[in-house]
Amino acid sequence: MGVDVRIVAYANKKATAERACAAAFERFAELDTIMSDYRETSELMRLCAHAGGQAVPVSRDLFTVLQYAQVKARRSGGAFDVTCGPLVRLWRKARKSKTLPSQAEIESARGKVGWKLLELDPRRRTVRLLKPGMQLDLGGIGKGYADDCAQEVLKRNGIRSALVEAGGDIVVSDPPPGQVGWKIEVPNAIDITAAPLLFANTAISTSGDLEQSAEIGGKWYSHIIDPRTGMPLTDRIQVTIVARKGITSDGLSTAISVLGPEKGCAVARTYPGTTVYVRFATSAPNPGQPGRFDKR
């Protein structure tokens, strides 16, 4: 999935921690072979090869993630959309080459994007992509799910106190021994609390990593796309979500980046136990600099 994964675990014996972490990393590796769009042979990519054709039976993991994704797509009115692959690829190329795509290229990619073009059959556990050329992208939800799964493996292996992090997505279980929570700096919350927040048995995801945006012609283009317009975000929003599960916090942080604070919070309210932190970068960035956030 293109990120480093970090696990911090507490156990009475070193051997217990090592065994548990090895199993959790193995689970991550397994999910990478399912969800990665960097690997041509991943289950996701093999599924996309059938776009425009028959329904394809898929693994329980892939089906679960796609089901969650479709619920988010519906609740966000299509702002979160895992069928956004053709647009993500087009704009990834643009950010690398520093050249904007043509309107015709954007329209062509948009024609292959839309969450209603993704059909799930829970009874047969099959997936059908209605149009040829469709490309699924789980970059906005897969890491949170993988964190959840890794925590389950750690628990099964006797670890109750752990932090799992993949990219901007973190899931924590019980606090470290003798503490009331995991100390995590939520960048967007620092000016409210003036102290790192303490977390236990929860998930924390941040979207809007400035390092992943690029300047083309004096404007900053995010790696997050608004599937409804085919354009990347340019408002330099940063969103952190605290939720019960990683699959929820990850998808929501991406969705709310697209929707903005007001509409975004309305969607977050449909997920009980969720907190939303939003801020915008206001200062015009210097060339080559990711810019600063100075207004919440």
Residues in contact with Mg ion by CB under 5 A are 140, 207, 250, 253-254
> How many other CB atoms are found less than 10 A from the CB of residue 12?
9
Note whether 114 binds ligand AMP by CB under 6 A.
no
Q: Give which of 97, 128, 130, 94 is closest to 111, Cα–Cα.
A: 130
139 binds, among ligand AMP, Mg ion, none (CB under 5 to 8 A by kind): ligand AMP
> Token match 């330099």: residue?
236
Stretch that binds ligand AMP, among 50-58, 82-90, 155-163, 278-286 (CB under 6 A): 82-90
Q: According to the binding rule CB under 6 A, does residue 254 interact with ligand AMP?
A: yes
Told to check if 65 binds ligand AMP by CB under 6 A, we report: no
Alpha helices, H only, the chain: 14-35, 43-48, 60-75, 85-97, 103-110, 142-156, 190-193, 246-259, 261-268
Contact residue for ligand AMP among 70, 173, 207, 274 (CB under 6 A): 207
Asked if 170 interacts with ligand AMP (CB under 6 A), we say no
The correct pick among 253, 256, 259, 268 for binding ligand AMP (CB under 6 A) is 253
The least CB distance from residue 252 to Mg ion, in Å, is 7
The residue count for binding ligand AMP (CB under 6 A) is 18
- CA-to-CA separations, 217 to 89, 100, 159, 286, in angstroms, rounded: 19, 9, 50, 13
C-alpha to C-alpha distance for 89 and 193, rounded to whole angstroms: 38
Nearer to Mg ion, 172 or 247 (CB): 247
CB atoms within 10 A of CB 279: 21
Binding site partner of 168, from Mg ion, ligand AMP, none, Cβ cut-off 5-8 A by kind: ligand AMP
Q: What is the dihedral of CA 61, 270, 261, 1, to 10 degrees?
A: 0
Closest approach of Cβ 213 to ligand AMP, in Å?
10
Contacts 24+ apart (CB under 8 A), 103-112: 106/230, 106/231, 107/230, 109/230, 110/86, 110/230, 112/51, 112/83, 112/86
Q: Does 147 bind ligand AMP (CB under 6 A)?
A: no
For residue 21, state whether it binds ligand AMP (rule: CB under 6 A). Answer: no
Selection from Mg ion, ligand AMP, none that 81 binds (CB < 5 to 8 A by kind) is ligand AMP
- In the bound complex, what is the minimum distance in angstroms from residue 194's beta carbon to Mg ion? 27
Give the C-alpha separation, 142 to 276, whole Å: 20
Instruction: Name the residues that contact ligand AMP, by CB under 6 A.
Output: 80-82, 84, 88, 137, 139-140, 168, 207, 223-225, 227, 250, 253-254, 258
